[in-house]
Amino acid sequence: MPQSRLRVGFVLIAMVLSVFGARLVQLQGVDPGSYAAMAAAEGTVEVVLPAERGDILDRNGEPLADSVDGLMVVADPAQTADDAPAIARFLAERLSVDYIDTLARLRGADKESRFEYIARRVPSTLANDVLEEAEARDIEGLSTRRDPVRTYPAHDVAANLIGFMGTDEAFGGLEQVFDKHLSGTDGSARYEVGGGNKIPLGSHETTDAVDGADLTTTIDRDLQWFTQRVLRDAVRKAGGESGVALILDSRTGEVLADADYPTFDAANPADYETEDRGARSINLAYEPGSVQKVLTLASLIDAGRMTARTEFTVPGRLDRQDRPIRDYFEHGTLRLTLAGILAKSSNIGTVLAADRFKPGEMRSYLEAFGLGRRTDVGLESESPGILPDPALWTEQAEDRIAFGQSLSVTPIQMAAAVNTIANDGVRVAPSLIKGTAVRDDGVEIGTGVAATRRVVSSYAAHQTTLMMERVVDPEDGVAPKAQVPGYRVAGKTGTAQRVGAECGCYDGTFTVSFGGFAPAEDPRFTIYVAIHDPDTGGGGSVAGPVFSQLMGFTLHRYGVAASGKKGKALPVTW
């Protein structure tokens, strides 16, 4: 009996092997072409393996923009083409995708297509819910793949600097100018499918994705949040159109905060006006007004033309070339020192002082302060401002430029120029990026390559600082509201007429500003505030209090010791 069973077993095995052998002959010898065509008809699928976008971080490693788990919804046209209209309606409703475009994708770009994107960067919860609902409706051919979603956890904080991501494109800010640095390189996977499923032993090729690199900014996220809230409240209180506030580390030029109002939420940019998505600190140029006097008088001291104690007789009106020059306040003849001219913000006194420049000298100094050219702080669309060409530099133009008219600046330019005085007369290029990073246009920027140059002497910077302290003096200055309790403050107000875009002329509105630094004896932070078109008030009453609040908070946040006793104040009159 055992031998009989053994023989039967061998016979059965021989029969099975014969069947397999015959099938193999059929596949490889009799009709290989037809079976290869059938396999090809099942198809080869090639899918993208998305790279994860690098994070944009604040100076302390806190995320300003990052990526979280998300999914792409994809379709296999071989399974969705027949019911494409109904499936397209379903997906358009649930994923807010375009119906016509989705319909075309569900039908396939060509007859061999087995993989079509339907929606990119979909939150995981939503994508999974849609697929569960599709399964409940007996919809076949939809699936998901990993696809990181860009998020902005702080919403409007530094949004004007960061920019935002669309479905497949970066818009504005650091997202756009560092797109290559952040985006990385997508990978891919190619494999054979049969019956809509991956063939386990089929051809399979994979190229791994290379994730994008992180970008670390100089921004202090918490200080940025506070700055934006203080600026917002100030613009609203003043009835202004818009405003900007910048906080710089006086020694390094690092931008710790760069606030815009109005601003937008980078997580929902479509809900906001286009003009509120840019960085006014970088791309909005305007006449600086009397903050410019700091640069004029510092240059005169550096050139050896005068000292802070030089005496001037200042009339109530100065008749010059094409029009008379007046001060913002009515007065008779005043006897002011150079320090008094700055403390009282006298246009007439500034022009009389500027008469001592040699031809071309003032313009050379202003160029050295960084006016008339881009700072290259990092963002696109930066305005260079306007510093008139030497051929257009008339005596009339020099008079007005001396006190802040007939030229234009951006807030970042003016902040960096004032910071030159704070930094002992050495201009350090402002930076938004920690270390060194390469923009998409190949330009290296950041603290690692920030240029420095001496503009005025230590003596001139020190004397100018002492003069700026008189500006906030409660008895002789025009901006006592800019004081910070416990600290010596050096600053300057600005009130300037605005040029309307439509008429190209002064339109009756104003920009008020305040720029300064503290502690005056050993500057740590420079702050510049500008508010456009307030209902009333000037730089001292509108922008000065904003400076005071921001400076006080920043000094305490960074643990800067209070100032000692003040030295002897410079004389204002003689």
Q: Please list the rounded mean pLDDT of every run of 10 residues in the chain (574 residues).
A: 62 61 54 48 68 95 93 90 92 92 85 79 89 93 88 95 88 95 87 60 75 96 98 98 98 98 94 93 96 98 98 96 90 97 98 97 98 92 94 94 97 98 98 96 94 98 98 96 97 93 84 98 98 95 98 98 88 97
**Domain identity same for 414 and 538:** yes
Long-range residue pairs from 553-559, CB within 8 A, at least 24 positions apart, any chain? 553/223, 553/226, 553/230, 554/223, 554/247, 554/256, 554/525, 554/527, 555/484, 555/487, 555/518, 555/519, 555/524, 555/525, 557/220, 557/222, 557/223, 558/524, 558/525
* Beta strands at 490-499 and 452-454: parallel, antiparallel or unpaired: unpaired
Asked if residue 520 is part of any domain, the answer here is yes
Considering the entire predicted model, what is its pTM? 0.86
Using DSSP, state whether 427 is helix, strand or coil: strand
Count, residues in the chain: 574
Burial (CB count within 10 angstroms: exposed 0-12, middle 13-18, buried 19+), residue 366: buried
**What's the CA gap between 176 and 65, in Å, rounded?**
13
Q: What is residue 540's predicted lDDT score, i.e. its pLDDT?
A: 95
Structure tokens at 135: 């399964």
Question: Can you give the residue range of the structural domain that contains 88?
Answer: 71-98+114-140
Using DSSP, state whether 536 is helix, strand or coil: coil
**Domain identity same for 428 and 539:** yes
**Domain identity same for 129 and 257:** no
**What's the CA gap between 395 and 320, in Å, rounded?**
9
Q: What is residue 38's predicted lDDT score, i.e. its pLDDT?
A: 46
Closest listed residue to residue 433, CA positions, set 267, 280, 262, 252: 252
Contact 124, 132 (CB under 8 A): no
Structure tokens at 480: 């006592």
**Domain identity same for 136 and 237:** no
Asked if residue 239 is part of any domain, the answer here is yes
Closest listed residue to residue 573, CA positions, set 316, 306, 341: 341
**What's the CA gap between 84 and 87, in Å, rounded?**
5
CATH code of the domain containing 553: 3.40.710.10
Contacts for 566 with CB less than 8 Å, ≥ 6 apart = 469, 488
Measure Cα distances from 121 to 90, 125, 127 in Å. Answer: 18, 12, 9
Asked if residue 16 is part of any domain, the answer here is no
Sign of the CA dihedral 192, 196, 201, 204? positive
**Domain identity same for 127 and 230:** no
**Domain identity same for 226 and 370:** yes
Number of separate domains in the chain: 2
Contact 448, 484 (CB under 8 A): no
Asked if residue 103 is part of any domain, the answer here is no
Tens-digit pLDDT profile for residues 307-336: 999 999 999 999 998 789 999 999 999 999
Asked if residue 572 is part of any domain, the answer here is no
Q: In sequence order, which ranges of 361-457 are alpha helices (DSSP H)?
A: 361-368, 395-402, 411-422
Contact 247, 223 (CB under 8 A): yes
Sign of the CA dihedral 177, 178, 182, 184? positive
**Domain identity same for 321 and 466:** yes
Residue type at 514 in one-letter notation: F
**Domain identity same for 249 and 122:** no
**Domain identity same for 260 and 132:** no
Using DSSP, state whether 161 is helix, strand or coil: helix
Asked if residue 145 is part of any domain, the answer here is no
**Domain identity same for 536 and 411:** yes
Residue 278 is given by DSSP the state: S
Asked if residue 251 is part of any domain, the answer here is yes
Q: What is residue 78's predicted lDDT score, i.e. its pLDDT?
A: 85
Measure Cα distances from 409 to 107, 222, 369, 388 in Å. Answer: 55, 28, 11, 12
Q: What is residue 195's predicted lDDT score, i.e. its pLDDT?
A: 54
**Domain identity same for 128 and 230:** no
Tens-digit pLDDT profile for residues 181-190: 999 888 888 7
**Domain identity same for 118 and 242:** no
Asked if residue 41 is part of any domain, the answer here is no
Measure Cα distances from 444 to 163, 177, 435, 440 in Å. Answer: 19, 11, 10, 9
